[in-house]
Structure 1
Amino acid sequence: MQANERITYLVENYLNKTISKEEYKELSDWIVQADFQEVETLFEAEIHKQDNWYNDSVAFGGEANVLKEIQNKITQSERKVFAYKRWAYYGAAASILIFTLMLFKPWQKTDLVSSDQVNDKVVSVDDKGDDIDILADAGGHLSFTDGEIVTISKQQKAFIDCDGVRYQFLADGGVRLQPLDTASPHQAKHTFFTNRGDKANIILADGTSVWLSSASSLVYPTTFADDKRMVEVHGEAFFDVSHNPNKPFVVKSNDTEIEVLGTQFNMRAYPEVDFSETTLVSGSVRVRSKNSQRKIVPGQQATVNKKGEVAVVTANLQDVLSWQSDVYRFSNLTIEEILTELGRWYAIEGIDNRSTLQERYTGVLSKGKQLSGILRQLETISTHRFIIQERRIVIMN
């Protein structure tokens, strides 16, 4: 049997739920190595032959073309934030397909579920019936030098003026700074921040665009009058820096500095974590700590630990940037680490880990309205069980 015929045979067995463990592994290995277009074309052809497969096995929607539906969901959600390069869409869709294969193992008689479908016999909720909801995205907030706090989503005006700059409120929920002609050379410092569950965008006076993730803040001058454009980040942010070779852009966080001229990168430095991560999408940046400095190229990630040591590795850009979409991607994490990350988006008030297992997982989860749907998915692929008690998660073996 030729290679193409063999893969077609495996896909048919998968869709018919007759695939063996050995065949399942062979198909999964091929998906990881193959070009996405080849995977998409083959699955489309076979799914069109078996329209009943979609309705019987997958809870993503009502169309027969599962790959295209998955890709559309990723594309639509990510376009709300900013335009990824096209390959990122394909990679995300392919990864969800791989995770779908992880969830659906015919020999275990396990059906696929969406994140909002809950089996109460598996995920236990306390007697009050309190599930844990996803936090509402309220957007960004501004804090001025006089202590005033402005919630952007509640603004009825088109703009407000403060400290020599105009904040223009955009239709997509973002905000843009525009220096006024009356601006003084004095640099006031303002803060743009998000609460848990929020994402928000600000365009600074130089045209640099910054997206803040959940529970993050950006401190910046109202104008960049010095020889460097200096800002400070706590939490996680994605930067699309306006190019200016005469005035480098510098991001500070704790004891780390990132210096760029014009580039796209993601910085993650939450105060409760004892390291920071800088991941470069395009351009080049130099990462400096108190003890070391390294220059990284696109696709690399620099991690700075509490000792000031800098380590550089190849990054998974889709995982790093997934916070901007409606999916959560993770690689080689324990269940507790996964839930800790989800706590930035769901109203989790604590985690009680009673499990002795330290297994690690890689996959993609859609962010449903309630956490129990995600826990149901995690139970499907792991040996853990979960109990929800008064917004706390108990992890059991």
Structure 2
Amino acid sequence: MQRIDHIVNLLKDYLLGDIDEQRTAEIERLFLEYPRLKEIIEELNSEEELQEALCTYEELYTDAFREREERVLNNILFQVKHRSSIWRTRLLWRRLAIYSSAAAIIVLALFASIIWRQRIVEPKTTEEMINAFTPGGNKASLTLSNGRQINLSDAYSGIVIDGQIGYQDGSSLFDEGSVAEDEMLTLSTPRGGQYQVTLSDGTKVWLNAESKLHYPYRFSKDIRTVELEGEAYFEVAHLKGSPFIVKTSKEKVEVLGTHFNVNSYQADINSTVALLEGKVKVSSGEDYATVLKPGQQSVMRKGKMEIQTINVDECVAWKNGEFMFNNETLENVMKKVARWYDLDIELSSNLKHVEIWGSVSRYDNFNTVLKLIKMTDDGIRFEVTGRRVRFVK
């Protein structure tokens, strides 16, 4: 067994690339002794192959096997004869060809056992999994009317339409003249993404995670219309006689020149328009319309609109790189957090209306958000499975 243990460690270091010249020569001699050993070692560099090798080890490596190694080949032949599965039969015959002696089988089985068991008994801790949930960043795609999609560079925070479509440093996305004047464009951000666009009239738009902005390459002279799905912050350029209109599935916002935030996700019950500067008219169909003043927010809920006085800093915190919660329900908080960190978050029913107060940077890891929640109620626990986080109490 001492030689086998040495060979197992040698193969393990070889696969990890941690091997010096002397041991390289040793492993080359081993590959000469077992010509196809190198091939099977490289095949074992996958979880499926490692698991299969481990199963073989557990089936074959018994006390009797250690005493009478010559019986191993007979055991393999016996398994081939009595397995009905074509796939399993092929696998065992392949192993029979590869493992030309009992010693080779022991070496590979032990090697697979060590590596595979390390992966099983040393899973990532919950803390390690949480720390792996990193914040979002500059991610977006631009889609043309013909369906052509361009993945935008994360090295930039936005694009600009100014005689051409390009990044903020002036580098162009298209050849000049390749985009028609009436071309309709769609800027889309995924979960965990954000991006900016400066439209042809000079209006600046910040797009939050999991959002879409539909807009023309060039606006007409009489009216400027865009469509929004999700959340965006607008700084509208004032053009006399050319109103700027933002359409969502739940309302229409008309402005002449102003700063405002629209939050209108399809999956959310509420749709809001928050005004920072200027004046906007918010309407829902032909039944209701209101003019907002700075510091006010319209809330569309189940077809009805109400007006609230708000802290505008909270409404645009996301645009400034922050999460800011002022006695906001945990259910609403987690919708925002899930979009930004690209997570599936589930809350037990008794936690949905727990109120959260505080602020954290959007560029902190998810663990910082968890600390904020625990400060609110230390009795809240969480369970992590993949990218799904479940909160219970």
Q: TM-score, normalised by structure 2?
A: 0.60
Paired residue for 1:346?
A: 341
Change (3 A) 1:374 1:262: same
Q: 5+ unaligned residues in a row in structure 1: which ranges? A: 1-124
**What's the CA shift for 1:350?**
3.2
Aligned pairs for 1:58-137 (under 5 A) are: 129-131=128-130, 132-137=132-137
> Does the 8 Å CA contact 1:199/1:324 hold for their aligned counterparts?
no
Change (3 A) 1:356 1:229: closer
> Does the 8 Å CA contact 2:160/2:197 hold for their aligned counterparts?
no
Paired residue for 1:235?
A: 230
Question: Structure 2: how far apart are the matches of 1:198 and 1:151?
Answer: 12
> Does the 8 Å CA contact 1:170/1:176 hold for their aligned counterparts?
no
The alignment status of 1:244 with 2:239, answered yes or no, reads yes
Q: Deviations over 1:238-277 (max 9, x none)?
A: 1111101211000000131100001111111011012311
Paired residue for 2:113?
A: none
Paired residue for 1:140?
A: 140
* Identity %, equivalent residues: 27
Q: Deviations over 1:318-364 (max 9, x none)?
A: 11111123321012223233222210111312314264674322221
AA partner of residue 146 (structure 1): N
> Does the 8 Å CA contact 2:323/2:361 hold for their aligned counterparts?
yes
Q: Deviations over 1:104-124 (max 9, x none)?
A: xxxxxxxxxxxxxxxxxxxxx
AA partner of residue 392 (structure 2): M
Change (3 A) 1:396 1:143: same
Paired residue for 1:189?
A: 184
Question: Structure 2: how far apart are the matches of 1:151 and 1:215?
Answer: 15
The alignment status of 1:153 with 2:149, answered yes or no, reads no
Q: 5+ unaligned residues in a row in structure 2: which ranges? A: 1-123
Aligned pairs for 1:202-221 (under 5 A) are: 202-221=197-216
**What's the CA shift for 1:168?**
2.0
1:386 to 382, 387, 393: 382
Paired residue for 2:165?
A: 167
CA RMSD of aligned residues (A): 3.3
DSSP-derived class of the 2:316 partner: helix
Question: Structure 2: how far apart are the matches of 1:320 and 1:356?
Answer: 23
1:317 to 301, 312, 320: 312
2:296 to 283, 297, 300: 300
Flag as ranges the 4+ runs of structure 1 deviating above 4 A.
Answer: 125-129, 174-178, 180-184
Paired residue for 1:333?
A: 328
AA partner of residue 218 (structure 1): L
**What's the CA shift for 1:143?**
0.6
Q: Deviations over 1:110-158 (max 9, x none)?
A: xxxxxxxxxxxxxxx86695225124413332111121111221699xx
Change (3 A) 1:357 1:258: closer
DSSP-derived class of the 1:338 partner: helix
Change (3 A) 1:152 1:263: same
**What's the CA shift for 1:193?**
1.5
DSSP-derived class of the 1:207 partner: coil
DSSP-derived class of the 1:344 partner: helix
Change (3 A) 1:373 1:128: closer
**What's the CA shift for 1:316?**
1.3
AA partner of residue 168 (structure 1): G
Change (3 A) 1:273 1:369: same
The alignment status of 1:396 with 2:392, answered yes or no, reads yes
Change (3 A) 1:165 1:354: same
Question: Structure 2: how far apart are the matches of 1:152 and 1:126?
Answer: 35
> Does the 8 Å CA contact 1:294/1:310 hold for their aligned counterparts?
no
Change (3 A) 1:357 1:335: closer
Structure with the higher fraction of residues in helix conformation: 2
**What's the CA shift for 1:376?**
2.4
Question: Structure 2: how far apart are the matches of 1:160 and 1:316?
Answer: 30
AA partner of residue 167 (structure 1): I
Change (3 A) 1:221 1:128: same
DSSP-derived class of the 2:237 partner: coil
Q: Deviations over 1:174-224 (max 9, x none)?
A: 99999x89986x622111111112221111111111110111111011111
Q: Which has the larger radius of gyration?
A: 2
Paired residue for 1:272?
A: 267
Question: Structure 2: how far apart are the matches of 1:160 and 1:369?
Answer: 28
Question: Structure 2: how far apart are the matches of 1:240 and 1:133?
Answer: 32
Change (3 A) 1:225 1:183: farther
Question: Structure 2: how far apart are the matches of 1:354 and 1:181?
Answer: 55
Question: Structure 1: how far apart are the matches of 2:173 and 2:215?
Answer: 11
Q: Deviations over 1:53-97 (max 9, x none)?
A: xxxxxxxxxxxxxxxxxxxxxxxxxxxxxxxxxxxxxxxxxxxxx
